[in-house]
A and B are shown apart, each in its own frame.
Chain A
């Protein structure tokens, strides 16, 4: 064997390594992936999602890794997760099934007028749409970006996959990041939008809700949603099915599976699939950066929308609502409700707002799904 042949062989071997195909931009994505892994582990920000997302970003951004492409016409591993999980819109719906199985709608049923707060908190969604179109996003992209303010991960993924799949990674990441940062983002806005007297408003204890009412709620709600915004019934139908299973009390095993094992399994696939969509050549552009900055504004306006809705309602109500629970209308269950509780306690140590805030919090889930349905109807 000659030296030339040996060199050729070495050169050929080098060709098959990632080192030869290295590009500088993937280093940035390693940084992004590592940042999310750090936030998940060190700061405990949405670790269940940010950890697999961060690892997904990290690992797909190595040259030649057979993860998100096709080998001999067959999808590679992450491509397979992405295709059947997200492209087919299965994962967001299954997550909603698990969420439904975990949710107690009692506080919302006991005080149904808090549903309107969930609608008011969608203000940012519609305002952001305008801003996004102004900077040059297409209408479909604008709709998918604006839903981030609704602070509902599965709904954001569902709508983005439906209208602008090319933004899936950025949108999902922005949605989950801001959801994790609810305790940092919302309190200053809540203080800015309310005065001391309003923050001290005490609300009457919620009435007990009967078992029959809790069983009827998912049926009535899914029926109404199916009639008015049928495009989001895959999401809301699964949400209500999960809740019906829980409230019926006759399928404990299914409830247990839906809220534990199944939820955990799909969360792993969701995180990896979302992270895997963020390859350097697709992700590194001005759009994801813009989505991140506008997402923050979107979230803030949604918070303001919820608080302002409570203030408007208070003009007409005999029994006033504490506007601090308005911020919970952005969804982000149950974090946003906890923030309302914490803020309320700062001004009156005996004023517990948690259960009151759960109502608008759950209304926010329905509200953001309704907003997503409105957008889908706009383009279908």
Chain B
């Protein structure tokens, strides 16, 4: 209810928002000031606060599949895992004079970062299996040795 009221207020105060333009198919809050626009990147500053911009995008992407919202320390990160031309929207936090918004075609920092991390992850998983095998092997070996010693003594 509170969120709906806030959105209604935004739409009332900024009627242009409801007719938002888009960049690579991603909706853009219309009252923002563009700092940089290339074929693959749009950087802009909005007079709306972080929460208002996030709410705007939540409404825009309501029920849309393959869209994820990630709440980071310094920003909210919206990611598309589907087939849309844009890949991510980053909305900065903690800015008093409005939120900075960054829309990119392919977020290579994220792609390369996550790949390296996941490759290391595969090593980590197998390393832990390795350690598990070594530990369990030692435990079993000691049991077997003890049993054999008992047999030999008996």
Residues of chain A having any CB pair with chain B under 8 Å = 109, 112-113, 115-116, 118-120, 122-123, 126, 129-130, 133, 138-140, 210, 212-213, 216-217, 220-221, 223-225, 228-229, 363, 366-367, 370-371, 373-375, 378-379
Write the B87-109 contact mask toward A (1 if CB under 8 angstroms, else 0). Answer: 10000000000000000001000
Q: From known contacts A138-B81, A140-B81, A371-B122, infer whether A113 and B130 are also in contact, taking CB-CB under 8 Å.
A: yes
> Given the complex, which residues of B lie within 8 Å of A379, measured CB to CB?
81
Q: How large is the interface on B (under 10, 10 to 19, 20 to 34, 35 or more residues)?
A: 20 to 34
Residues of chain B having any CB pair with chain A under 8 Å = 66, 81-83, 87, 106, 111-112, 114-116, 118-119, 121-130, 132-134, 136-137, 140-141, 143-144
Task: Tell whether, in the assembled complex, residue B118 and residue A212 are in contact, meaning their CB atoms are under 8 Å apart.
Answer: no
List the 8 closest pairs (A to B, CB-CB), nearest first: A374-B118, A119-B126, A119-B123, A370-B125, A112-B133, A115-B126, A138-B83, A220-B132
> Given the complex, which residues of A lie within 8 Å of B83, measured CB to CB?
138
Task: Tell whether, in the assembled complex, residue B125 and residue A224 are in contact, meaning their CB atoms are under 8 Å apart.
Answer: yes
> Given the complex, which residues of B lie within 8 Å of A122, measured CB to CB?
119, 122
Chain B contact surface mostly: helix
Task: Tell whether, in the assembled complex, residue B121 and residue A370 are in contact, meaning their CB atoms are under 8 Å apart.
Answer: yes
Chain A contact surface mostly: helix
Task: Tell whether, in the assembled complex, residue A112 and residue B115 are in contact, meaning their CB atoms are under 8 Å apart.
Answer: no
Task: Tell whether, in the assembled complex, residue A119 and residue B122 are in contact, meaning their CB atoms are under 8 Å apart.
Answer: yes
> Given the complex, which residues of A lie within 8 Å of B121, measured CB to CB?
370, 374
> Given the complex, which residues of A lie within 8 Å of B134, measured CB to CB?
112
Task: Tell whether, in the assembled complex, residue B115 and residue A126 are in contact, meaning their CB atoms are under 8 Å apart.
Answer: yes
Option from A140, A217, A225, A370 in Cβ contact (under 8 Å) with B133: A217
Task: Tell whether, in the assembled complex, residue B129 and residue A212 are in contact, meaning their CB atoms are under 8 Å apart.
Answer: no
Q: From known contacts A139-B81, A210-B140, A212-B144, infer whether A109 and B125 are also in contact, taking CB-CB under 8 Å.
A: no
Q: From known contacts A140-B81, A216-B140, infer whether A371 and B118 are also in contact, taking CB-CB under 8 Å.
A: yes
Task: Tell whether, in the assembled complex, residue B137 and residue A213 are in contact, meaning their CB atoms are under 8 Å apart.
Answer: yes
Task: Tell whether, in the assembled complex, residue B115 and residue A216 are in contact, meaning their CB atoms are under 8 Å apart.
Answer: no
Between A and B, 24 residue pairs with Cβ closer than 8 Å are A109-B133, A109-B137, A115-B126, A116-B127, A119-B123, A122-B122, A123-B119, A126-B116, A130-B115, A139-B111, A140-B81, A213-B140, A217-B136, A224-B125, A224-B132, A225-B125, A228-B125, A363-B126, A366-B125, A367-B122, A367-B126, A370-B122, A371-B122, A374-B122
> Given the complex, which residues of A lie within 8 Å of B125, measured CB to CB?
119, 224-225, 228-229, 366, 370, 373
Task: Tell whether, in the assembled complex, residue B111 and residue A126 are in contact, meaning their CB atoms are under 8 Å apart.
Answer: no
A367 to B124, CA, bound (A): 10
A232 to B136, CA, bound (A): 23
Option from B111, B130, B133 in Cβ contact (under 8 Å) with A133: B111
> Given the complex, which residues of A lie within 8 Å of B82, measured CB to CB?
138, 140
Q: From known contacts A115-B130, A228-B128, A370-B126, infer whether A213 and B136 are also in contact, taking CB-CB under 8 Å.
A: yes
Task: Please name the residue on chain A nearest to B116 by beta carbon.
Answer: A126
